[in-house]
Amino acid sequence: MAAADDLKFQEFDDAANLLAANPGATTISIDEPVQIPKNQRSRLQEPGREEDDELLGTDDSDKTELLAGQKKSAPFWTFDYYQTFFDVDTYQVLDRIKGSVFPVPGKNFVRLYIRSNPDLYGPFWICATLVFTIAVSGNLSNFFIHLGKPTYHYVPEFRKVSIAATTIYAYAWLVPLALWGFLMWRNSKVMNIVSYSFLEIVCVYGYSLFVYIPTAMLWIIPERVVRWVLMMFSLCLSGSVLVMTFWPAVRDDNRRIALATVGTIILLHALLSVGCLAYFFDAPEVDFPAPIIPAHNGTTVITKSVSKVTTPVSPSVQ
Amino acid sequence: MRDLKAVGKKFVHVMYPKKSSALLRDWDLWGPLVLCVSLALMLQGGAADSKDDGGPQFAEVFVIIWFGAVVITLNSKLLGGTISFFQSLCVLGYCVLPLTVAMLVCRLVLLAGNGTVSFIIRLIVVVAMFAWSTLASTAFLADSQPPNRKALVVYPIFLFYFVISWMILTFTPQ
């Protein structure tokens, strides 16, 4: 078992040697602005692999540089260093988004789509879009829910944009940081087969948030059941991307730790979506409380508006 | 006087975006500054309830426009664009002009009333100006990008002008 896995990872270094040793091997050249023709394909994989291969994916779906080690050689204070994180084309970004929305059961998102070319474009702009989508949708939904109520005056609620931005960017960067630190720590104790770099984890989290963008737009519908169904659905989709990515990384660890890690990942993800729904979107049947008005007979009456019908309530207040 | 004429010429260029590089060659940031300040001033006086949940403050509009333009410029440079930093800032700033015009029109329409008809007029005007801004800046900026990444560069510009349009459309007076 260990030998097969060792060989599998050596293939990244030996691909050039393999090609040199077998110049007649079928190669596929992809039309792309890189200097090195892409020669690594599933031919270089050994036949008869077991489930690790399924979970870790093949090389087909993304085009990576053959000599990936040469990519990040610029020192971190130069502009070129950061340019390596934006080395993606339009179709690659679209492919990764598609992979996060339609997770193939059994395929690992990182191995399938990222393949040692993590980018920061996707996570950053998906988070930015999500921030504004949630703020705008929340505002719209509140507007439609309270439309027609006599005491309601529309406000753009611009404060919520900064709150949304802080929350979502903190989630998309701090949780991967914590997870990466935790995985590094466990790696030092237990030799794991799979380990991810920090940027790959950021990438997975960023792209997994994409499914919340259409969900937030559909949350405008002021039906409680619809909103919860939508949330469950999107939580399943993005949660499955995360679980399928991180399960191979903790699988070989202590059983309880592995389950606790995956459980925490899902719990934090669920907390994010529940929190966003609760904070930015008013509940559909909540009565908009009217101010206390003094009644004619001297007792104080609180007028409650219940779906546009105003009924005076007895002085027993809640 | 010469600078004023240059700024005026650029305003005209934005309203009739032809494929000319005059905007790109001689960049200046006076026009964007004037536009940004006037837009932020016009967005003042929006409705706010007691929880201070109103429209954006002056500083917020300023920061959104400048920070947004900087981020988009950085994004296009990181993706391999050949345009210089300040040229891109200049183009993005000048292309806020249609939206400033939309804000002016909205404020005038709101003077007449705040009903459904006024909302529909404002919606049409803002949508039209948003499309104009996005197309104008794309016309200027798209050529400097590598061809297989054009959409990656255009999308943040779209988002940027969308946010500004949203602020304009949701402006409600006290």
> Residues B18-35: pLDDT tens digits?
666 666 677 888 889 999
Share of chain B above pLDDT 90, in %: 31
Q: Which of B54, B148, B159 lies at the smallest CB-CB distance from A128?
A: B159
Domain-embedded: residue A19: no
Ramachandran class of A314: left when φ > 0, alpha when ψ lies in -120 to 50, beta otherwise? beta
pLDDT at A174 over 90: yes
A87 Cα to chain B: minimum distance (Å): 7
Contact B98/B132 with Cβ under 8 angstroms?
Answer: yes
Domain-embedded: residue A169: yes
A85 touching B (Cβ < 8 Å): yes
Which DSSP letter does residue A103 get?
Answer: P
Q: How many CB pairs under 8 A join A and B?
A: 72
Averaged confidence pLDDT in chain A:
73
Q: With beta carbons under 8 A apart, name residues in chain B contacting A33.
A: 146, 148
Q: Which of A228, A232, A234 is nearest to A214 (CA)?
A: A234
**What is the tens place of the pLDDT at every residue in A6-17?**
555 554 545 555
**How many other CB atoms are there within 10 angstroms of residue A89's CB atom?**
18
Domain-embedded: residue A102: yes
Tell me the pairing of strands A309-312 and A300-306.
Answer: antiparallel
The enclosing H or E element of A291 equals strand A289-294
Q: How many domains does chain A have?
A: 1
Please tell me which of A134-148, A214-228, A237-251 the model is most confident about, judged by mean pLDDT.
A214-228
pLDDT at A296 over 90: no
How far, in Å, CA of B11 to CA of B94, rounded?
7
- Residue spans per domain, chain B: 24-44+52-169
Q: How far is CA B162 from the centre of its chain?
A: 9
**What is the tens place of the pLDDT at every residue in A256-266?**
888 888 899 99
B173 touching A (Cβ < 8 Å): no
Helix axis angle, B30-42 to B97-112, nearest 10°: 20
**What is the tens place of the pLDDT at every residue in B92-110?**
998 999 999 999 999 999 8
- Listed in sequence order, the residues at least 6 apart from B174 whose beta carbon sits closer than 8 Å to its beta carbon are B45, B46, B47
The boundaries of the domain holding residue A276 are: 79-281
Q: Which of A215-219, A310-314, B73-77 has the lowest mean pLDDT?
A: A310-314
How many CA atoms does the CB half-sphere of A243 hold within 13 Å?
A: 20
Q: Which of A109, A106, A12 is nearest to A67 (CA)?
A: A12
Q: With beta carbons under 8 A apart, name residues in chain A contacting B72.
A: none
Domain-embedded: residue A49: no
A182 touching B (Cβ < 8 Å): no
